[in-house]
Structure 1
Amino acid sequence: MEDLDDLYENAPCGYVSLSADGVIVKVNRTLAGWLGTQSFELLGKRFYDLLNVPGKIFYETHFAPLLRMQGYFNEVALDLVGPDGRKLPVLANAAERRSSDGGVQFTRITLFQAADRRRYERDLVDAKNAADRARRELADLNRTLEERIDAGIAERLQLEQGLLAEKEVARLREQFVAILGHDLRNPLASISGGLNILSREPQTDKARRVLTMMSQSTERMSSLIRDMLDLARCRAGQGIAINPNPTDLRAVLEQVVHELQTAHPGRDIQSSLDIEIEVRCDGGRVAQLVSNLLGNALAHGAPDRPVTVVAASALNEILITVANEGKPIPKHVKDHLFEPFFRVTSSAEKQGLGLGLFISYEIARSHGGRLEVHSDDNHTAFLFRMPV
């Protein structure tokens, strides 16, 4: 037969009975064991004293009032504190025993350990908080993704508009090249031909001077148009067009030196042209490159010092150097020398579009070579390397 005393004392839950004023009058061995004490040590204490600080506040504001109003409550979470200060999470069910006149005789409380349940509840709360964070992060990610998509679409539209604009610029560039090639060069050729015819007829001294000046201006305009055509082709990605053929490069360079010496009779141009073999190149373009470099050296070098042109064949390449003495080229200038429309000086006597070195650089590239510049306090030298 079931032993009721043993069932009470060793029940799988804690039992505690309180007097009307909340003093513990009976407690089972199970609850005392949970708290690490003996049952008799709990008798005479107030149940209120077994609670931690938050539990005491809850007891005064919810626990006791709820009992007074309805006489019972179920599954209220409390934290008991044992003599050693260890906290014991429990779930409490309570019911009052009242007299016929409604007065409280005693209160019975049943306690169940709730550590696992509290842990589970905390895990649920943590999981809910994590889910909320993930939801917010997902919303932020979606918003960021939408913003990036919008930005990508805007950038794509901008790129497409830029591509259309670039195509339009390319079309206008081609028209510009056509204008230079036809509408300007052809009338200029007619003017040049007319000047040649007039120069063969008897003229007064004044008329001959005027014709010479007009011929020089025509030649200068023709040179500027050639430079602009070359620039337009380079901008269009075509590069400088060349027609390589076996060339007596020494003779080409001698002609360039002779022309520049004739144009500058008061200057000392010294040349050493040690090229005995024919070189496969575009002789006209190489002559244009060297003429640009030599003209540049005469324009910017010390007027009382010689300008040198040295050409030699080395292992698998031709080296052509044009050097002058005078002030060195500043570094900030040297970094931009081969850019179009860049001019070292703006003085009136050194006119030009600033395309000479740019075109020379592109001619070197078209021959598979390169154009370098070295400048110090002693001299400035432009070196053209061309593979053979």
Structure 2
Amino acid sequence: MFDNAPCGYVTLLANGRIARVNRTLIGWTGHTSDQMIGKPFSGFLNMAGRIYYETHIAPLLRMQGFFDGFAIDMVTASGEHLQMIASATDGRDAGGKTLFTRIALIKAVDRRLYERGLLEARDTAAMGLARERENSELREQFIAVLGHDLRNPLASISAGARILGRDATTEKQHQILAMLETTVMRMAGLIDNVLDFARGRLGGGIILDRNANAPVEQMLHQVIDELRLSSPGRQIEVEYAIDAPVNCDRIRIGQLVSNLVGNALSHGATNEPVRVRAVTEDGLFKLSVANGGEPIPEAAMEKLFEPFFRGEVRASRQGLGLGLHIASQIAKAHEGSLTVTSTAEETRFTFVMPLR
């Protein structure tokens, strides 16, 4: 069993010299039994293995009596290196003195190649990940720059529409100018969402300019009036009970309300009003937007605040799918939360944040 074992066996004397070696190891190395017996085991290792064995393995064997799973390279009779995985155990007398050491060795060529392949694959994956991150950052920077540059021509269109509005005389002219202003407002919202999303992905996050002094109602009125203008024929009901200062970024809260109400107008029942309610109570600012219509499917609820998620919408209502995501990020920036409930009676988004 010793000679024909599927692994190499070596027995060393207390002085580290080989006392016995099995046929399996002799066959692997090409050395004869006479060439190995009586010689130091470390003499059959390559230089790195010899240093490692004598400075690390042998001292630990003396200290703890065993050493499992160490890698060494043996030198064959032809001078080639044979990669091995070895485990060693000391045999000791009653007083703890080492009498001999048994070493079991198995070939590790395939395993070492596999490990080397794993390391190379890891390095390749790390390089690929670094390149992908760089490309992703460049893409997001491009989106941010593009979104920023789009503001200039959009501002020119808006200014031109206002100038033309001074000379408009017919009902058709006023309708066309109102359509232009609505389109400009919608495009500005889309650009804001793109910029906020790109900034968030680049690590900047949502930037706030909080102010507890300015009234919130004025901002809410302005946003709701703009949305009424862009959705003629739709009813938006509002209810305010704000009797305490709200320390928030009014522009960002206006953006949140615009996204939520715009979403309700797009997906809610056209024959039912969109209901907006804002109150201060129990040290919190609470704002909800509710609409009637079909409930949101359960599968869609899980992804509702993810970027670019739009669910199943009609072609005329498609957008970038960033509105609810940006709204949720604005809520988080205010140390608040944005939640949703959806039933057959109504779908309601609720934003809650501390007053201070």
TM-score of the two chains, using structure 2 as the length reference: 0.65
> Deviation of residue 217 (structure 1)?
2.5
Distance in 2, Cα, partners of 1:356 & 1:342: 9
Distance in 1, Cα, partners of 2:187 & 2:195: 12
Q: Which residue matches 1:328?
A: 295
Distance change >3 Å, CA 140–CA 245, structure 1 → 2: farther
Distance in 2, Cα, partners of 1:128 & 1:353: 64
Instruction: Pick the aligned partner of 2:205 from 199, 216, 239.
Output: 239
> Does the CA contact (< 8 Å) of 1:322 and 1:381 recur in 2?
yes
> Deviation of residue 202 (structure 1)?
5.1
Distance change >3 Å, CA 283–CA 139, structure 1 → 2: same
Q: Please state whether the residue corresponding to 1:280 is helix, strand or coil.
A: coil
Gap runs ≥5 in structure 2: 11-23, 26-68, 70-83, 87-104
> Deviation of residue 301 (structure 1)?
2.3
Instruction: Pick the aligned partner of 1:346 from 298, 309, 313.
Output: 313
Distance change >3 Å, CA 215–CA 143, structure 1 → 2: same
Q: Please state whether the residue corresponding to 1:281 is helix, strand or coil.
A: coil
Q: Which residue matches 1:201?
A: 167
Q: Which residue matches 2:53?
A: none
Distance in 1, Cα, partners of 2:259 & 2:156: 26
Post-superposition CA distance 1:47-95 (Å, at most 9, x none): xxxxxxxxxxxxxxxxxxxxxxxxxxxxxxxxxxxxxxxxxxxxxxxxx
Q: Please state whether the residue corresponding to 1:272 is helix, strand or coil.
A: strand
Post-superposition CA distance 1:250-296 (Å, at most 9, x none): 33223333443454454443333221111111111111111211222
Please tell me the residue identity of whatever aligns with 2:139: L
Post-superposition CA distance 1:319-357 (Å, at most 9, x none): 211122222111111111112222133313324222111
Q: Which residue matches 2:140?
A: 173
Question: For residues 21-60 of structure 1, what are the structure 2 equivalents within 5 Å?
Answer: none
Q: Which residue matches 1:226?
A: 192
Post-superposition CA distance 1:78-124 (Å, at most 9, x none): xxxxxxxxxxxxxxxxxxxxxxxxxxxxxxxxxxxxxxxxxxxx888
Distance in 2, Cα, partners of 1:349 & 1:259: 20
Distance in 2, Cα, partners of 1:313 & 1:378: 25
Q: Please state whether the residue corresponding to 1:254 is helix, strand or coil.
A: helix
Q: Which residue matches 2:41?
A: none
> Deviation of residue 127 (structure 1)?
12
Q: Please state whether the residue corresponding to 1:271 is helix, strand or coil.
A: strand
Q: CA RMSD in A?
A: 2.9
Distance in 2, Cα, partners of 1:274 & 1:248: 12
Q: Please state whether the residue corresponding to 1:212 is helix, strand or coil.
A: helix
> Does the CA contact (< 8 Å) of 1:245 and 1:282 recur in 2?
yes
> Does the CA contact (< 8 Å) of 1:311 and 1:318 recur in 2?
yes
> Deviation of residue 359 (structure 1)?
1.1
Please tell me whether residue 212 in structure 1 is matched to residue 178 in structure 2. yes
Q: Which residue matches 2:215?
A: 248
Distance change >3 Å, CA 217–CA 322, structure 1 → 2: closer
> Deviation of residue 371 (structure 1)?
0.8
Gap runs ≥5 in structure 1: 1-121
Please tell me the residue identity of whatever aligns with 2:161: L
Distance change >3 Å, CA 176–CA 204, structure 1 → 2: same
Number of paired residues? Answer: 266
- Stretch moving more, 376-385 or 299-308: 299-308
Distance in 2, Cα, partners of 1:249 & 1:149: 63
Larger Rg: 1
> Does the CA contact (< 8 Å) of 2:289 and 2:348 recur in 1?
yes
Q: Which residue matches 1:312?
A: 279
Distance in 1, Cα, partners of 2:168 & 2:235: 36
Identity of aligned residues (%): 37
Q: Which residue matches 2:340?
A: 373
> Does the CA contact (< 8 Å) of 2:2 and 2:9 recur in 1?
no
Question: For residues 26-175 of structure 1, what are the structure 2 equivalents within 5 Å?
Answer: 131=10, 138-141=105-108, 143-175=110-142
Distance in 1, Cα, partners of 2:328 & 2:274: 20
Distance in 1, Cα, partners of 2:332 & 2:177: 38
Q: Please state whether the residue corresponding to 1:318 is helix, strand or coil.
A: strand
Distance change >3 Å, CA 323–CA 140, structure 1 → 2: farther
> Deviation of residue 169 (structure 1)?
2.5
Distance in 2, Cα, partners of 1:360 & 1:258: 19
Q: Which residue matches 1:4?
A: none
TM-score of the two chains, using structure 1 as the length reference: 0.61
